[in-house]
Amino acid sequence: MERGRFELLDKPKPTLQDSRDAIVRVTLASICTSDLHIKHGSVPRAVGGITVGHEMVGIVEQVGSDVATVSVGDRVAVNVETFCGECFFCRRGYVNNCTDPDGGWALGCRIDGGQAEYVRVPYADRGLNRIPDTVSDEQALFAGDILATGYWAARISEIAPDDTVLIIGAGPTGICTLLCVMLKRPERIIVCERSPERRRFVREHYPEVEVVGPEKCLAFVRETSPRTGADVVVEAAGGDDTFRLAWECARPNAVVTVVALYDKPQLLPLPDMYGKNLTFKTGGVDGCDGAEILRLIGRGEIDTTSLITHRYPLSRIAEAYDLFESRCDGVIKVAVNCGG
């Protein structure tokens, strides 16, 4: 893999390397914005030549002797993160910071991932969640990554019933965040999104949500909030000015949760925000709620199927990447049928 270039290649089928591994036959995978970040070299830990893909579902093909929670033939959602479950961080739910050499976001970044026919999943007891029979592959596709991210963002943002929550960005992760924030039932949810097409998507699918463009966002939030700003801001856009917009739209003592992965460093102008007493929460998802997310999908409380706007076979994944990167044709997420 040269920087900026992805290619579909034949690689040997992965094999078990540890008694806690599983091999999963991938049925459906998706392309994530993070894959584009790897392509463009903005994920320093990504290993050259790695098979990308960290958002997929499939069927367990083989398990190591110490795998207890899944069996051969189980339909599973693969977690974006690998975690041991036993280290200091894992025991506190900070699984993104698992100290195991494969801990955190390894799949499709530091070890071969799942835009492929088969994937090896380390620590399979924690990296795989059985998909309930009532949930389809398409319904479960995002459980391990963007939906896990949205769920985590909503969980850490300390949302109260009378809150106004502002979500910046209505891309795939922003919409997943929206769905999970809706489960917390705050008084108001405002979504800020630059693209008119995506603003329309949010209005159509979630009519109870208020939608605004970035140029009007600050004035709108200040004028319509009783406390001169949003009580909670979740920044899921990762644009050039969206971090600034996030803290500017926050009321004093608000929580600002940064979910976005930026291509460039961001400015934290502490003198400008002095006295605002903001709490910033930043980082990568702690993906340890997969089972709960799948239960919520099974109960119909989360439905992300409308995000799948395009479908491709694995053999045409290059076209899928071109489309996803171009953001043409109303694309939000692409499902890639991996043939399993």
Compute the least distance from the CB of residue 289 to Zn ion, in Å. Answer: 16
For 312, the token pair is 């491709």
Which 119-178 residues touch Zn ion, going by CB under 5 A? 145
Pairwise CA distance, residues 42 & 173, whole Å: 18
C-alpha 149/C-alpha 159 separation (Å) is: 16
Please state the φ and ψ torsions of residue 281, each to the nearest 5 degrees.
Answer: -120, 130
Which of 27, 30, 34, 82 is in the footprint of Zn ion by CB under 5 A? 34
- Residue closer to Zn ion by CB (options 217, 237) is 237
Of 302, 289, 25, 287, nearest in space to 140 by CA: 302
How far is CA 158 from its chain centroid? 19
The residues in 204-263 that bind Zn ion, with binding defined as CB under 5 A, are none
> Which is nearer to Zn ion, 145 or 231 (by Cβ)?
145
State the nearest-atom distance from the C-beta of 175 to Zn ion, in Å: 14
27-35, 71-79, 188-196, 234-242 -> range binding Zn ion (CB under 5 A): 27-35
Specify whether the CB–CB gap between 109 and 80 falls below 8 A: no
Which of 98, 165, 256, 320 binds Zn ion (CB under 5 A)? It is 98
Nearer CB in complex with Zn ion: 218/323: 323
Read off the tokens for 323: 């489309």
Token output for 218: 């600050």
Q: Which is nearer to Zn ion, 254 or 297 (CB)?
A: 297
- Helix (H/G/I), strand (E/B), else coil: 235: strand
Stretch of residues binding Zn ion (CB under 5 A), selected from 68-76, 78-86, 213-221, 324-332:
78-86
**26: contact with Zn ion by CB under 5 A:** no
Judge whether 181 and 154 are in contact, CB under 8 Å: yes
Closest to Zn ion by CB, 34 vs 129, is 34
* 32 makes contact with Zn ion (CB under 5 A): yes
- Residue 85 CB, shortest distance to Zn ion, in Å, is 6
Stretch that binds Zn ion, among 75-83, 122-130, 131-139, 198-206 (CB under 5 A): 75-83
Q: By CB under 5 A, is residue 90 in contact with Zn ion?
A: yes
Cα–Cα distance, 52 to 332 (Å, whole number): 19
Burial call 82-94: b when 16+ CB within 10 Å, e when fewer: bbbeebebbeeeb
* Residue 187 neighbours by CB distance under 10 Å: 12
Residue numbers at the binding site for Zn ion (CB under 5 A): 32, 34, 83-84, 87, 90, 98, 145
